[in-house]
Structure 1
Amino acid sequence: MKGVMIQGTASDVGKSLVVTALCRILSTEGVKVAPFKSQNMSNNSYVTIDGKEIGRAQGIQAEAARTEATVWMNPILLKPRSHQDSEVVYLGKAIETFSGREYRENFYEKGLNVIRESFQMLSNQFEMVVIEGAGSPVEINLKDRELVNMKVAALADVPVVLVADIDRGGVFASIIGTLELMEPDERKRVAGVIINKFRGDITLFEDGVRWIEEKTGIPVLGVLPYIEHHMIDGEDSLSIANQFSNQKRGDVDVVVIQLPFISNYSDLEPFLFEDDVSIRWVKHVDEFGAPDAVIIPGTKSTIQDLKFIKDQGLDVKIKNHFKNGGFTVGICGGYQILGDEMIDEAGSDTGIVNSRLQGIGLIPGKTIFYKEKETIRTVAAYHEDTGFPEKIPLEGYEIHLGKTVIKQKGCSFLKLEDGKEEGYFHYNGQLIGTYLHHLFHNDEWRNRWLNLIRKRKGLAVKEIRNLRDYKDQRYTALAVEMKAHLKWDLLKEIIENWSSGE
């Protein structure tokens, strides 16, 4: 199987975006292509059609490649649960929680084996693979047992293209330094360099391109422009600041509690494309202000993040916000946090069996954490308790350990495909809790909820903005934009004619 690996001089240089663009370019040219990342560390995940969990970036890249995402595209997903420990999701299922040292010592051979198996599975179904690395390939303290960069390129025997971020500064040093720290056999595998996130007139960097090529002997395959509002979901918490930092201030002020172990923050990205909505990420009470709505997102460590909310005094702010008529939504872990109590029956959330913590207490429900995680794609409709007459389908997915029991009758939010009631909806939508991730990616629902707020504020209601079709258009637009700035024929030639000589 042919392929190419995209590595970076550092984290967040744009590897995921480049891989996404390459997948769409190749797919458009008729190539049956798959994305791949051996090991992902992210709490922003994606549920495959068969209910397995992989990194969100690979799910998005599969969409760009016009294929269905599978666990073979991301066989290992590490989901941080604390500053020391991560849950290991292996072929889509959570198997164990390790510290960083335990993982390096106990998982390396198993990781190598599943990477080899993944390549074999992908080679049976696809003509080409576009592989994403992680962080930097020259982290000297980690290289002897790494599962994400040059070891993977060697296993797949593909050329490497090194991506550098010019926007952060020091692009020449980052390229030269990375290459100098590589072993000779690794250095020979680097077949090209891409400069990413260039602002302004790209022709002004022509001297820089010549210098890099003369200094390294490696072709610069493109200088890619800084692309804002590309609507490609971010991979990790580093992307939150980038995606939301330049946001305009709108008439509808939505606060999102920035939890230490936030997960699936892609739930909030559709609001970036609503002209009158601004999203503010809040970690401290002095940032809270007087928002129209508060959203508590998902979390990998619900009880720890509830403690954070209480330690910061944000629980008082949230309760007062609701009492004063503000809209409040909890998604997944945020739903659990808004309840009366959480009981970690299996120790699966905290590691302490039967630990308990009182929630914020706005939703009359109790959450119990069990051992097995539930991951499923689902389709739901509004429950009759909401008073909404339409049976419009809402699509999303669930990823959670706990199950929440609501004590109050007549206030369900959704009815699932299997007929079960889900979530909490009360006070005409002023208070909502649900396990359905990507709720706000449903255009009709997002518009309905925002119009509830607009009416309350005396603002004009707005028509539905269709972001689903827009997102697929953005994959194509991203591919067209990047291809225009790539030496595409040269890159294809490198892939087609690659031979490591090993």
Structure 2
Amino acid sequence: MSVLMIQGTTSDAGKSTLVAALARYFARQGLCVAPFKPQNMALNSAVTTDGGEIGRAQALQAQACGIEPHSDMNPVLLKPASDTGAQVIIQGRALGNMQALNYHHYKSTVQNAVLDSFKRLSDQYELVLVEGAGSPAEINLRENDIANMGFAEAVDCPVVLIADIDRGGVFAHLVGTLELLSPTERDRVVGFVINRFRGDLQLLEPGLEWLENYTGKPVLGVLPYLHDLYLDAEDAISTQQAGADARLKVVVPVLPRISNHTDFDALRLNPDIDLQFVSVRESIPPCDWVILPGSKNVQADLAYLKENDWPAQLDRHLRYGGKLIGICGGLQMLGKEVQDPDGVEDVPGSELGLGYLDYITRLQPYKALINVTGFLSLGNQDNDQGDIALQGYEIHCGITEGPALQIPAVFLHDEAGNLRPDGAISADGQVLATYVHGLFDSPQAQNALFSWGGLTGATPLNLNVHREKQLDRLADSIAEHMQNSWLRQFGRDQGGATLEEVSR
């Protein structure tokens, strides 16, 4: 079994992308590969086959490996609920909320779970690709580190350091990061990858030669800037603009604690759709749909919408015939009240909802984590719309009850294969709510929702097919732009050689 860790000089240097690229590249070579991220802080998450919750990026990396996601692939997930606190999820299960300083002291305990998950993966797979978090040179976070060099030292694995040249200062990033590492950590770095390069490589070569001479470490690859690359975002919201021919305008407010905004990728990538993420401080621009997304702190985000006059703007949007959709936290906001008596998401309390649908949500410590299949009913209670296939997942802590649920938006299969209703649709057909993340991922569901929303003749985008093409594109880039002699060392013909042996 071999292990390689990818660490970055900064956040968004390309760690997640490089792990996904290497995972798909080595999986295509026939290796049994698995991704691993010891600690992740993200509000985009996924449900695993063992009923746990991990970062969305690790689920994508599992797909790159050709395997199902498992909670061991991301044993520590932190989901920020405020500026100083987060929900702590260990091996797929939520332990509760914790303040940042308290968690910093708790990390020595968490390390046991990290190493336990890593051992299970390393016993099952030929190659484990590990992704760091942020930068290994964060001096204030070095004590009890489990996310970067602390983990690498604990399992004695080599590290590749990646930097983003598109930001500028790539040589300072790489050299500065090395200088801030301890001698043993510095020795652990086996080479560099420079990411998102555009231009003539010959102009870069003098800098590469200087870097190798100065550090004594090789540049293993210079990866090009891949235009229009789509990958499930770990947290950052894409600012990609729609094409000029878009025929449906969709607005999604960027809530302070917005979660799982990857729900909208299938719309954002469709040239027929103009999807805009807008600040809550801005007025709602003219549009056909407004979608309220998931939230890690529903009460606070709902209050923030009210503070910025969104209820009046949503009323106006509906008066002019627009559609309004709520997903998960957005569903809860569309009701009459959100109650959190136990302080599940923040301080105990309640917040009046927007009142468009007649139900009340009560938050509770138990979190629903379910991969689901079913179909859109769009208010049809005869259960005869089975051709509008739907699949997705639920991640929520609330129980929602009220008369509006008698006209469900969705029917889902339960564990016994029976159908159960989910969400609601208003009597006038303008407001739709569901707990299902991934509502737009199915082409059949997209078609039905387009028709419901007033768009005809649009071509749905198959998000999974699109994602597979992007992963193959990444693997092709690795094959072309990274040192083949270094990559070949991971093959089975090496008789199980370790990466420590490979790097010598």
Instruction: Bin the TM-score by the shorter chain.
Output: over 0.9
Give unmatched runs, 5+ long, in structure 1.
none
The residue number in structure 2 matching 1:311 is 307
1:381 corresponds to: 375
Q: 1:122 to 1:227 in 2, by over 3 A?
A: same
Output the CA distance in 1 between the equivalents of 2:90 and 2:501. Answer: 31
Q: Is the partner of 2:286 in helix, strand or coil?
A: coil
Tell me, in whole angstroms, the C-alpha distance in 1 between the residues paired with 2:343 and 2:69. 31
- d(CA) in 1 for partners of 2:437 and 2:163? 33
Q: How many residues align?
A: 490
Percentage of pairs with the same residue? 38
- Which residue of the partner structure matches residue 370 of structure 1? 364
Moved more, 126-135 or 246-255: 246-255
Please, which of 386, 391, 409 is the counterpart of residue 391 of structure 1?
A: 386
Report the TM-score, using the length of structure 2 for normalisation: 0.93
CA distance in 2, matches of 1:321, 1:165: 41
Question: In the TM superposition, what are the counterparts of 1:55-454 in structure 2 within 5 Å?
Answer: 55-105=55-105, 107-236=106-235, 239-240=236-237, 243-249=238-244, 250-352=246-348, 355-383=349-377, 385-386=379-380, 389-392=384-387, 393-408=389-404, 410-418=406-414, 419-426=419-426, 429-454=429-454
Could you say what secondary structure the match of 1:244 adopts? coil
Most deviating of 332-341 and 426-435: 426-435
Q: Give the Cα separation in 1 of the matches to 2:395 and 2:58.
A: 17
Shift of 1:158: 1.5
The structural deviation recorded for 1:465 is: 3.2
Q: Do the aligned partners of residues 346 and 193 (structure 1) sit closer, same or farther apart at CA in structure 2, a change above 3 Å counting?
A: same
Q: Is the 8 A contact 2:160 2:193 kept in 1?
A: yes
Give CA-to-partner distance per residue, 1:266-322, whole Å, 9 cap, x none.
Answer: 101111221121121112454422111101100100001001111111222122212
Could you say what secondary structure the match of 1:5 adopts? strand
Could you tell me whether the CA contact under 8 Å between 1:319 and 1:360 is conserved in 2?
Answer: no
Q: Tell which deviates more after alignment, 224-233 or 160-169.
A: 224-233
Aligned counterparts of 2:281 and 2:86: Cα–Cα separation in 1: 29
CA distance in structure 2 between the partners assigned to 1:384 and 1:101 by the alignment:
46
1:97 alignment partner, SS class: strand
Q: Using the alignment, how far apart are the partners of 1:116 and 1:255 within structure 2?
A: 42
Aligned equivalents of 1:119 and 1:166: distance in 2?
A: 31
Give distance in 2, aligned partners of 1:260 and 1:396. Answer: 24
1:389 is displaced (CA, Å) by 4.5
CA contact (8 A) 1:447 1:465 kept: no
Residue in structure 2 matched with residue 39 of structure 1 by the alignment:
39
Distance in 2 (alpha carbons) for counterparts of 1:481 and 1:500 = 22
Q: Aligned to 1:144, what secondary structure does the other structure show?
A: coil
Structure 1 residues 384 and 311, CA gap change in structure 2 (3 angstroms): closer
Q: Secondary structure at the match of 2:432?
A: strand
Question: Pairwise CA RMSD of aligned residues?
Answer: 2.0
C-alpha separation in 1, matches of 2:138 and 2:439: 38
Asked whether the equivalents of residues 189 and 500 of structure 1 are also in contact (C-alpha less than 8 Å), the reply is: no
Q: CA deviation at 1:492?
A: 4.5
Q: Which runs of 5+ in 2 are unaligned?
A: 491-496
Distance (whole Å) between structure 1 residues aligned to residue 405 and residue 109 of structure 2: 48
Where 2:160 maps in the other structure, the secondary structure is strand
Shift of the 385–467 alpha-carbon distance from structure 1 to 2, 3 Å rule, reads same
